[in-house]
Each structure stands twice: as structure tokens, then as C-alpha cells.
Structure 1
Amino acid sequence: MAAPRRILATVTGSPSHARAVLPFARALAAAGHEVVVACPEELGDVFTGFEVAPAMPPMAAAVATLRPALAELAGPPDMDVIMPLLFAGPHVADAVRALRPVADRLAPELVLRDGTELAGLLLAEERGIPHVAAPSGGGQRMGPALVDDALRARSAELGVGPVTGADLHRHGRLDCLPPGWSFAAEGVAPAWSYRQDDEVARGDVLPAWIGELPAGRPLVLATIGTALPMMAGREGGPPGDGPPVDPSGTLRALVDGLADLDCEAVVATGGLPVADGAPAPEHVHVLDWVPQPLLLSCADLLVTHGGYNSIREAVRTGTPMVVLPQFGDQEANADRVGELGLGRRSGPGDVTATCAAVLADGDVRAEVRRAQRAMLALPPVAVAADDLVALVGT
């Protein structure tokens, strides 16, 4: 066993970002290493059992600083414009300053960061210690060239470096998909791949009534993830190059589309209302939350917003997908799901037809099972603990 090391985990964004870091933080702690998690206060509950330093600003703060910058741009911004501002804009220098006291107390030997969290990278470069990125949807699109200028600017503000795009993944990055099913954009460094954890949240159980659903019909899970509920009610919604998203309208499209499908459906709303308030039919079960990885283990189809956590969980359970993207990396993820043969993209008005087509498509089922077998052949996340601490002192 490696000598105990001190690890700082840095997280921002939505709960899905935190849950992508959690299995690796847990593996490090189980191997006897000291792990302190720096995150926004709103994400602290994800890391029960860890020492949590609520030092990171919430993503809402980043979005607030982003909107004036977007207003100065000519033409509609796309994600390649938004990502450097959102994840490496001036607010990130403030996040580094907030992290410094945490690092002074811990004296970390390694930084494990959320894949789009760059304050941890800058702090690690400042202190000359290795840093590694956890799985992340946005991180799959974040290549060195995309954030090079922004990282140079932030490191100059902080008196560090210079830190450049070449430093983004120079110590490595982590993923939980097999290399042949990568969602990484061109230029993003290859990842160390581990098997997706099948129980990120410990002790979850399905509601008893799910066990009583008719077994002769396909079971469909539909969900909009965690970021959209966080964005609900926030002025302007998430930043992006398309029209503002409408989470309640998306839920309405899911309920209406599944109403006309011969299935048993579970729609997880994240606590948001379904637009118009019309009741769902008897075979469409609407609830705030369901333990998604557990239900996917017995589902025939996942209708998803295209979040990267959900995609990995569907591959882990061999579940075909219909993707109804909302914003950000979800657009590219939806296209990649189709390219890989793991499912199909849908629009709000095409939910019924797309779901029916995927449920009837044996080629999709076969390809998802092929990806699942490749994932099951990967080493477990527990192995990552030794791989990560091996970087210390190199």
C-alpha cells in the first residue's frame, strides 16, 4: 500500500459534477489517504463523510459574471466561446484566492479536480503538485487550445506560471467509458479509463411500487438531470447559443410523448413542475427523484437530457438511450450517442416516435451491450487510488 498522501478535491458546477468526483475521492479515502473536498456550500451534502471546505464559489456566480461578457460579443455565442469564459474567466482567479487558505492548512500533494474546474489546476501549478481531472461532460470538449488564452490571463493575474493550455491534462485525466466509446473532442488528451461505479450513492432502494409494475411492457426512465433544476428560475437560464431552455416545457414533452407509448414510464422531474399541470396517464409515473443507476439496471430505455453522468450510467447497465439535449455539452453528447449507435437524438415533438424506434432497434441494443461489456472489462475505480498517488513526487 502506498504511503498516506494528502489530496485536495476541487469541485464546482451542479451535483452531477460532484458525483463524478465522489467515487475517486472515496477510493482514495478507502486506501488510507487524507481527502479534503473544496466545493460550493450547496454541493457539500454530496460528500458526506469527508472534510468539506465550502470555499468554492457557486456556478451561479460564474454565470452572473459571464452574461455581461457575452453581451459584448458580436453575434450569437457558441460553446467554444462560452466555455473559456465560464470555466476560466476572471472569477476563477477569485476561486484560487479562496482555495489558498484551504491549501495552506492541508498542504496537498495532489489535486483531484472536477473536469471543468480550473481553479484547482491553477492552484496545483502554483504549488508545483500534480493535478488530474475527473470525468466531465464539459471537460470532454475542453482541449488545450480552447482555454489557452484564458489560462494565461488568469495565471498572469495570480502571478503564477505562466499556466497554458498545454498544462490542462499534463498529469492525466480520468474517464469511465472505454476508449473506443470516448466522447472527447479532438485535441483532448487520452484518459485513464475505469469502470463506472454502479452505486455512487450508497444504500439507495427503489420505491416498492416499481417492483409491482407490469413486467410485460418495456420500462422507460426519463430524466432531465440535476443542472436544469438548479437553473430553473435563474434569470436567463444557462448560457448558450440557442433559445432559453424551458425545463417545465421539456418535462411536458416527455410526459406527453411517453403517454402515447406502449410502456411503463418513470419521469424524474428534479422537483420541477410539469408545464400546464395536466395529469399524466396511468402508465406514466411522475416523481421528483428516483435512484437512477438502480432503476437503469432494470430499464429498457433511458430518455435523457444528454448529461455525461447519465450516459456513462446507461452504458454501465446496457440501456439504450433517446437524447433530448437542452444546453451546453449535451448537444454534442446527443450527436455522439447517435454516432456510436447507442441510441438516437430526439426533439420535443418526436419523443413517441423516437422512443418506439429505439425500443424496436436490435442494432442499438446490441451496440449498447457491446459497449457495456467493454466497460465491464475496465479496472474498477478503486484501482485509480494507486494510479493517482503514484503521481506524487514525480
Structure 2
Amino acid sequence: MTPAAPAHLAMFSIAAAGHVHPSLEVVRELVRRGHRVSYAIPAPFADLVAATGARPVVHPSTLPTDQDPERWGTELIDHLELFLDDAIQALPRLADAFAGDEPDLVLHDITSYPARVLAHRWGVPAVSLSPNLVAWEGYEEEVGEPALAPMRATDRGRAYDDRFTAWLAANGIHRHPDAFVGRPRRSLVLIPEALQPHADRVDRSVHSFVGSCQGERAGQGTWERPADAGKVLLVSLGSAFTKQPAFYRACVEAFGDLPGWHTVLSVGRHVDPAELGAVPPSVEVHRWVPQLAVLRQADAFVTHAGAGGSQEGLATGTPMVAVPQAVDQFGNADMLVGLGVARRLSTEEATAERLREAVLSLVGDPEVPARFERILRGMAREGGAPRAADLVEAELADHAAGSAA
């Protein structure tokens, strides 16, 4: 492949680990190839972005953070209004930040609505970097419309649609909000195809699965497996939905006295380790751990089945017990179970007895390693960050050719 001429690329995301981390290796690869990347991101992730060689374009955000997850609310409309509010306030700030230094191509997280508006304004291609599943043919009828119908039957839901539509129209975009959000012009999917529901019905002219783009993540630190650990279990519910002290106590009860097992318990910011009571020496409790480093040495993983954790579990060949908490995690859990490498428990079902039984049955299943081997072969073919960068450069070349015609 002929190397692409150096270009200025702009990446846009939100201050959420599950949305930023999947893009970082793609950005690092593009920088390595000589492109100049400006990455629009709120301040908490600026240093992480800078470590890739990209220039952080720091801007304020009104979205809830891991410190105040309750602000997300409890209903779908709560989430949607927050994203739209943030987009509306961010757009003029981002336009000013790039004034006089507009990019040749826009890369964007699925939640970054201003990125697509700006790409339209600048007349440059926009490429979505999706950190989770994408819509398939029939998605709207099967999933989208049933989920949104109750909201749209309310005054608040209709007002949200009207406001979103008016904002798009004021910026020269005449599309329904659902299509604007869920149907990008071009998309690179940063999850393994194995995690995509109805993959055979995904439009491959739009969506390219490039799989996990994890990198080494050396900057996150290391973890050493204890010399006396026969088997290692990692327990983590991610960074947002972690206020679950009863669940963590059940994990201590389930695995703390399990002969030969060492448990790494990541409890997040919202639980005081003292709430767990007496913890045996075979259980180490942390607010945060370098998850990938632990998984590379682990024998089992109790996870909330977020997109990042699910694919990290697959990439490291780690059997998983999924205890989903919100949004796409329920679907991810079902996909993992369907692949034959996971068990699923609801939060209510996750008693000490059920957790222990699920982990031991998975680790003792002689078919699980063979299933992982097949999955990993498929993931290797997807290409990761180098293929993602190839596809971005192809978009640049197509745009340049179209502009010259």
C-alpha cells in the first residue's frame, strides 16, 4: 500500500474510559505514520491522549463523570438529554478551537455529535470509531423503535426530538436524530465481530470490523501474579456502575477461602473497602487495577460485560462470568454466553454460591480453551490498529481524489 501523504486528523470523544481507550491505539498508529492528530477531549483524559503523540484539544463537558454517576438518571430520556445538552454547548467551543486549523478528516466516537456537525461544516469526511456494537439491517424496527416508543409518547420525549432536529437543521443537516446518531456514513468498529449481534446483517460498505486495538498499555502499570497463586480471578464492574458493596462481599465469601485461588477485587471509587468486612490474604482489594495486565495472567474474570472488558476477556482467552449492570452490557453478556466462554448472572442472582459455581464450571469445562482458540483466530484476522489506520488513509485518499476530480 502506498503511504498516505501526511494529513491533519481531528478525533473527538467524551470523558469516559470505555469511549477513549479503544481509540488510543488507532490514534497512536496514525501519529506513527506521520499524520498530525488533534484530539478533542475534556481535561481528565488529556494526558492519556498526549501520550499517543496527538495534541489534546481540551474543552469543557457537562456530562456526568465517574465521580457523580447518579447524574445520568434512571430513564433513557435522562441519558439522551445529557448528550444533547453537552453537544449544543460544546459545538461553538470546538469550532473556535479548530478555527484556522481545520482538519482533512474527522474521526469521532459514536457519542460525539459536534464532530459530525463540524465535518459537515468543513466539508471533510467523518469516520466513526465505534467502541461497541453497531446497527444492523432491521435494527430500528427490532430494537430502536420499541425502545424509544414509550419515550416518544411523552411531552418530554417529543420535546427532545424537536430540539435535536432543530439543532441539526440550524447546522445544515436535515436528518432524523435517530439516523444521525445511529447511521454514520463510515464506521470502523473497534470490537471483535464475535461480539456483534446479527453480524451477517451489518452493512459492510459502511462498517468495517477491525477488532480489539488494545496495545500494551504500559502506562497503566503492571501487576505481578503471586508465586503461590494456583489460579487467579479478577473481579471488576468497570468504572461507573460500581456502587455494589453487597456484590463485592459475595465475591469475598465465594472465593476468599477457595483453596489455590487468588482474587483481585477492583471495587471502584464508590465503595469503601472497609464496607467489605474482614478480607482474607488471598483477596487483594483495589479501587482500580491495570485490568489488561491482570487479565493476561488470570484464569477467570467476573465482569459487568462492558464492551472494553468483554473484548479484553476474549483477547486474553479468559473465561468470564458476566454480571451486567446497564445499557449494552446485557447484550454483550448474551453474546459471550453464546460463544460458549461465559456464564451470565443477574446482580440478584450473584450470590456467593452461584458465583463460585459459575467460575468453577467454566474453568473446569474442557471445551472452553478450544472455543477461545477459534475466537482468537478470527480476531487476529481483523487487523487491529494497523488495519484501522489503513482504512482511515483510504478515506483520505478517496476524499483527495474526489476533490481533484
TM-score over 0.5 (shorter chain): yes
Change (3 A) 1:180 1:222: closer
Change (3 A) 1:166 1:143: same
SS of 2:218's equivalent in the other structure is coil
The residue that corresponds to 1:124 in the other structure is 119
Could you tell me how far apart the structure 2 residues matched to 1:106 and 1:368 are? 46
Once the two structures are superposed, the pairs formed by residues 11-90 of structure 1 within 5 Å of their partners are 11-49=13-51, 50-60=54-64, 67=73, 77=75, 79=76, 84-87=80-83, 89-90=84-85
For the 8 Å contact 2:192–2:209, the answer to whether it is kept is yes
Residue identity opposite 1:222 in structure 2: V
Which deviations, in whole Å up to 9, do the C-alpha atoms of 1:184-207 show, x marking residues without a partner? Answer: 799865531224234352355534
Once the two structures are superposed, the pairs formed by residues 357-376 of structure 1 within 5 Å of their partners are 357-376=361-380
Change (3 A) 1:14 1:198: closer
Residue identity opposite 1:249 in structure 2: A
Deviation at 1:178, TM superposition (A): 3.9
Which deviations, in whole Å up to 9, do the C-alpha atoms of 1:108-128 show, x marking residues without a partner? Answer: 122211233222122222333
Deviation at 1:280, TM superposition (A): 1.6
Deviation at 1:249, TM superposition (A): 3.4
CA RMSD, 1 decimal: 3.2
The residue that corresponds to 1:194 in the other structure is 210
For the 8 Å contact 1:218–1:300, the answer to whether it is kept is yes
Residue identity opposite 1:171 in structure 2: R
Which deviations, in whole Å up to 9, do the C-alpha atoms of 1:94-148 show, x marking residues without a partner? Answer: 2222221123243012221123322212222233322222232376799676699
**Structure 2: which 5+ runs fail to align?**
149-159
SS of 1:265's equivalent in the other structure is strand
Which deviations, in whole Å up to 9, do the C-alpha atoms of 1:279-298 show, x marking residues without a partner? Answer: 22222222233322222122
Could you tell me how far apart the structure 2 residues matched to 1:360 and 1:122 are? 51
The residue that corresponds to 1:113 in the other structure is 108
Residue identity opposite 1:95 in structure 2: A
For the 8 Å contact 1:111–1:120, the answer to whether it is kept is yes
Could you tell me how far apart the structure 2 residues matched to 1:48 and 1:201 are? 14
For the 8 Å contact 2:273–2:285, the answer to whether it is kept is no
SS of 2:268's equivalent in the other structure is coil
Once the two structures are superposed, the pairs formed by residues 1-394 of structure 1 within 5 Å of their partners are 1-49=3-51, 50-60=54-64, 67=73, 77=75, 79=76, 84-87=80-83, 89-137=84-132, 149=161, 152-156=165-169, 158-164=170-176, 165-167=178-180, 168-183=182-197, 189-190=203-204, 191-203=207-219, 205-208=221-224, 210-214=225-229, 217-228=230-241, 246-262=243-259, 263-271=261-269, 272-274=271-273, 276-346=275-345, 347-349=349-351, 350-392=354-396, 393=399, 394=402
For the 8 Å contact 2:43–2:58, the answer to whether it is kept is yes
SS of 1:286's equivalent in the other structure is strand
Deviation at 1:228, TM superposition (A): 3.3
For the 8 Å contact 1:297–1:317, the answer to whether it is kept is yes
Deviation at 1:299, TM superposition (A): 1.3
For the 8 Å contact 1:23–1:200, the answer to whether it is kept is no
Residue identity opposite 2:228 in structure 1: L
Could you tell me how far apart the structure 2 residues matched to 1:43 and 1:204 are? 13
Could you tell me how far apart the structure 2 residues matched to 1:28 and 1:46 are? 16
Could you tell me how far apart the structure 2 residues matched to 1:11 and 1:198 are? 17
Could you tell me how far apart the structure 2 residues matched to 1:91 and 1:138 are? 23
Residue identity opposite 1:257 in structure 2: A
User: How many residues were matched structurally?
Assistant: 363
Change (3 A) 1:38 1:143: farther
Could you tell me how far apart the structure 2 residues matched to 1:24 and 1:115 are? 15
The residue that corresponds to 2:153 in the other structure is none
Change (3 A) 1:65 1:253: closer
Deviation at 1:357, TM superposition (A): 1.8
Residue identity opposite 2:171 in structure 1: G
Could you tell me how far apart the structure 1 residues matched to 2:133 and 2:388 are? 21
Between the aligned residues of both structures, percent identity stands at: 25
Residue identity opposite 1:274 in structure 2: P
Deviation at 1:83, TM superposition (A): 5.5
Could you tell me how far apart the structure 1 residues matched to 2:284 and 2:50 are? 30
Deviation at 1:277, TM superposition (A): 3.5
Could you tell me how far apart the structure 2 residues matched to 1:64 and 1:289 are? 20
SS of 2:130's equivalent in the other structure is coil
Could you tell me how far apart the structure 2 residues matched to 1:250 and 1:45 are? 33
For the 8 Å contact 1:116–1:138, the answer to whether it is kept is no
Change (3 A) 1:335 1:298: same
Deviation at 1:58, TM superposition (A): 4.4
TM-score, structure 2 normalization: 0.78
